[in-house]
Amino acid sequence: MTITSTTLENSDFAASLSVSSDHPRASLAADVATELANLGPSGAPKQIWLEEAHDSDTAILEHLATPYRDLLQLRRPLPAPPSGLLTRAFDPSTDAEAFFAVNNRAFAWHPEQSGFDQARLDDAMAEPWFNPQGFRILELDGVMAGFCWTKLHQELTPVIGEIYVIAIDPDFHGRGLGGPMTLAGLEWMSDQGITVANLYVEADNAPALATYDRLGFSTHSINRAFTTAK
Task: Answer yes or no whether residue 152 interacts with ligand COA by CB under 6 A.
Answer: no
Q: Show the site string, 59-98: x = touches ligand COA by CB under 6 A, - = not.
A: ----------------------------------------
- Name residues contacting ligand COA, limited to 1-30 (CB under 6 A): none
Residue closer to ligand COA, measured from CB, 37 or 86: 86
Task: Answer yes or no whether residue 178 interacts with ligand COA by CB under 6 A.
Answer: yes
Q: What are phi and psi of 9, to 5 degrees?
A: -120, 155
Q: Show the site string, 193-222: x = touches ligand COA by CB under 6 A, - = not.
A: ------x-x---xxxx-xx--x--------
Residue closer to ligand COA, measured from CB, 61 or 168: 168
- Report the nearest approach of ligand COA to the CB of residue 178 (Å): 2
One-letter amino acid identity for 63?
Answer: H
- Residues for the chain: how many in total? 230
Q: What are phi and psi of 136, to 5 degrees?
A: -85, 130
One-letter amino acid identity for 204?
Answer: D
Task: Answer yes or no whether residue 143 interacts with ligand COA by CB under 6 A.
Answer: no
166, 185 in Cβ contact below 8 A?
A: yes
Helix 178-191 and helix 206-214, axial crossing angle in degrees, nearest 10 = 50
Q: Among 216, 206, 192, 172, which residue's Cα sits nearest to residue 81?
A: 216
**What is the helix (H) or strand (E) element at residue 197, kind and residue range?**
strand 196-202
Residues in the site for ligand COA, rule: CB under 6 A? Answer: 106-107, 166-168, 173-179, 199, 201, 205-208, 210-211, 214
